[in-house]
Chains A and B, each alone.
Chain A
Amino acid sequence: MELSNLELLPGRTVVRHLGLVQGSTVRSKHAGKDLLAGFKNFVGGELKAYTELLNESRQEAIERMVQQAQAAGANAVINIRFSTSNIAAGAAEVMAYGTAVVVE
């Protein structure tokens, strides 16, 4: 599965457009990491636990989007966009969406 956030895949031609596919997930870190991140917030800097959380979530969102694309018979997803929204303290939803296509 080839992924791109251009509206095309360089060097390839899109032959079929299979429409919108999306993947999303909601995750949270365990309370201990939330607590540590809360302490870290006093001094600022990178909150590693949350960086990790959102990276994992984004990875899973892409995987789910790819599953949809595969089921649609696509071999690439183009014009991918990410969006993240806050759900609760320490929990976030990450979504990825794009257009499933068949390229040659």
Chain B
Amino acid sequence: MSYENPQLPHEVNVGREPVLLEFLQLTAGLAVVVVILSATLYFAGGQLARLIPFAQEQAWVGTRFVPGIDTDDSAQSPEASAIRDALQALSTRLSAQMALPPEMTLQLHYLDDDSPNAFASLGGHIAVTSGLYRRLDSENALAMVLAHEIAHIHARDPISGLGGSASMLVALTLLTGNAAHLSGAFATLVQRGYSRRAETAADSAAILALQKLYGHAGGGAAVFETFARYRNEHLGEAPSLLSTHPLDAERIARLQAAAADWDPQRQPLRPLLPAPAAAAIH
């Protein structure tokens, strides 16, 4: 009987696949899965949220101004109040052209903010900043802005966006157990804007409303020229990494095409009233 210990092949106990390569492949695979899953979830949550009646949405939101801008409209200067009233009146005329259902009532806000911006929020709230108002040169341009935001509300984009991000947050919380640290970062990503398709649809609806109201879509392109100019001036200040707004140039071209048959001589643009000079809030 012999006793010995021959040399053993130890490597049999370690799988031969290259760990780093496998890691990179799995990372890529996981990224694809995550993107597909979150897009599906976002879409499903958004569609589900659209089923909530507008009256219900408005009742939840009430007078709370969702994006967290704490503005008490009643405390504004007379000039600002006048502009707010003008915004409200113009949006009423536009919503009549856009066949907005009667229960979709709008609440206009005029915000003291130097950067040009306008947005639609939950519960039919629409806000225009003084920075934008000051830079507009005609009522037609303002109508383009308002009609675009009204179109978002008509399409239920704000609640759909909320539903989409909420469903992703719920999924994230379920998956990780505690998504408190993730959810903050995530919410800021999601709040960046609506999908490109929603923006393009809102543009189309706005062009249609302008044509119905004024007989032409002239002056609308000025809005996006304003944004483009501002972005050029402030380049690098706020890189809009994940901005989903269609490129300014694309939108300008689209509006110019829509206003191709517009004759500025026969159909002059309407002046912006009250005049932007008086547009300071306090």
Direct contact of A and B (CB under 8 A): yes
Q: Which positions in A face B, CB cutoff 8 Å?
A: 14-25, 64, 67-68, 71-73
With A and B bound together, what is the CA distance between A21 and B12 in angstroms?
A: 11
Q: Is there contact, CB below 8 Å, between A16 and B1?
A: yes
Q: Is there contact, CB below 8 Å, between B1 and A21?
A: no
Q: Which residues of A contact B12 (CB under 8 A)?
A: 23, 64, 67-68
Given known A23-B13, A64-B13, contact A71–B1 (CB-CB < 8 A): no
- CB-nearest residue of chain B relative to A71? B9
With A and B bound together, what is the CA distance between A88 and B7 in angstroms?
A: 32
- CB-nearest residue of chain B relative to A74? B6
Q: Which residues of B contact A14 (CB under 8 A)?
A: 1
At the interface, yes or no: B8 with Cβ under 8 Å from chain A?
yes
At the interface, yes or no: B2 with Cβ under 8 Å from chain A?
yes
With A and B bound together, what is the CA distance between A70 and B38 in angstroms?
A: 50
With A and B bound together, what is the CA distance between A75 and B13 in angstroms?
A: 20
With A and B bound together, what is the CA distance between A87 and B12 in angstroms?
A: 20
At the interface, yes or no: B23 with Cβ under 8 Å from chain A?
no
Given known A15-B1, A16-B2, contact A72–B8 (CB-CB < 8 A): yes
Mask for B1-27, Cβ within 8 A of A = 1, else 0?
111111111101101000000000000
Q: Which residues of A contact B1 (CB under 8 A)?
A: 14-17
Given known A22-B13, A25-B13, contact A68–B4 (CB-CB < 8 A): no
With A and B bound together, what is the CA distance between A59 and B263 in angstroms?
A: 83
Q: Which residues of B contact A68 (CB under 8 A)?
A: 8-10, 12
For the complex with contacts A19-B6, A21-B8, A71-B8, 19 further pairs of A-B residues with Cβ separation under 8 Å are A15-B1, A15-B2, A16-B1, A16-B2, A16-B4, A17-B1, A17-B3, A17-B4, A18-B4, A18-B6, A19-B3, A19-B4, A19-B8, A20-B5, A25-B15, A64-B12, A64-B13, A67-B12, A71-B9
- CB-nearest residue of chain A relative to B8? A68
| Minimum-distance CB pairs A-B, first 5 | A19-B5, A72-B6, A67-B12, A17-B3, A71-B9
With A and B bound together, what is the CA distance between A20 and B7 in angstroms?
A: 11
- CB-nearest residue of chain A relative to B3? A17
Q: Is there contact, CB below 8 Å, between A18 and B9?
A: no
Given known A15-B1, A16-B1, contact A73–B13 (CB-CB < 8 A): no
With A and B bound together, what is the CA distance between A73 and B9 in angstroms?
A: 12
With A and B bound together, what is the CA distance between A6 and B99 in angstroms?
A: 87
With A and B bound together, what is the CA distance between A14 and B4 in angstroms?
A: 13
With A and B bound together, what is the CA distance between A69 and B10 in angstroms?
A: 11
With A and B bound together, what is the CA distance between A14 and B3 in angstroms?
A: 11
With A and B bound together, what is the CA distance between A23 and B13 in angstroms?
A: 6
- CB-nearest residue of chain A relative to B4? A18
With A and B bound together, what is the CA distance between A101 and B3 in angstroms?
A: 9
- Within the complex, the shortest CB–CB distance from B274 to chain A, in Å, comes to 60
- CB-nearest residue of chain B relative to A102? B2
Q: Which residues of B contact A71 (CB under 8 A)?
A: 6-9
- Within the complex, the shortest CB–CB distance from A88 to chain B, in Å, comes to 15
> Could you show 19 A-B contacts with beta carbons less than 8 Å apart?
A15-B2, A16-B3, A16-B4, A18-B4, A18-B5, A18-B6, A19-B4, A19-B6, A22-B13, A24-B13, A25-B13, A64-B12, A64-B13, A68-B8, A68-B9, A71-B8, A71-B9, A72-B6, A72-B8
Q: Which residues of A contact B8 (CB under 8 A)?
A: 19, 21, 68, 71-72
